[in-house]
Structure 1
Amino acid sequence: MPSGHDLKGLIRFLEREEWRECFEEVFDCHLGPVLDAGDIEFDDLAETLGEDWAMTLWGCAFEDFLTQEFDVPGGNVVDAYLKRRGWNERVQTKAYMKALRTSVMSLYEVSDVVPGKSLMARDLVRGGEPVAVSEGTATRTLKQWDRIAARIVPVAGKNILAGGLLPFTPQATDALLDGLRQIFGKKGARKLPTVADHELQAVAFMFTLAWLSDTLQRTAGLPSLQNSDGDDLMFHDVMFPLAKGVTQKDVAARVNAIPAMARENAKFWNWLEDSPGEKENDKPAALRFDTIMDSGQRVLGNVELKGRFLHLSTNSSARADKGGMLLSQALGDRVGAPLTEIRTPEQMIADQRRHGPGDADADIPPEIARQVAHQFLDRQYRETLDQPVPMLGGRTPRQAVQSAAGRQKVVEWLKYLENQSAKHPDPADPVATYSFEWMWNELGVHNLRR
Structure 2
Amino acid sequence: MKKTIVLGVTGGIAAFKAAQLTSNFIKKGYDVEVIMTKNATEFITPLTFESLTKHNVMVSTFEKVADRSVKHISIAQRADIFVIVPATANVIAKIAHGIADDMLTTTFLAASCKKVICPAMNTGMYENPITQKNLDLCRSYGYEIFEPASGFLACGDIGKGKLEDITIIEERVEQLLMEEQLLTGKHVLVTAGPTQEALDPVRYLTNHSTGKMGYEIARAAKDMGAEVTLISGPTSLAVPAGVKRISITSAAEMFQAVKQEYETQDFIIKAAAVGDYRPEAIAQDKIKKAGDVLEVRFVKNEDILAYVGEHKKAQQVLCGFAMETQNLIENATIKLKKKNCDMIVANNLRVEGAGFAGDTNVATLIHQDHMETLDKMSKYELGKKILQILLEKQKQKGQASC
* Larger fraction in strand: 2
- Higher-Rg structure is 1
User: Where is the helix percentage greater, Structure 1 or Structure 2?
Assistant: 1
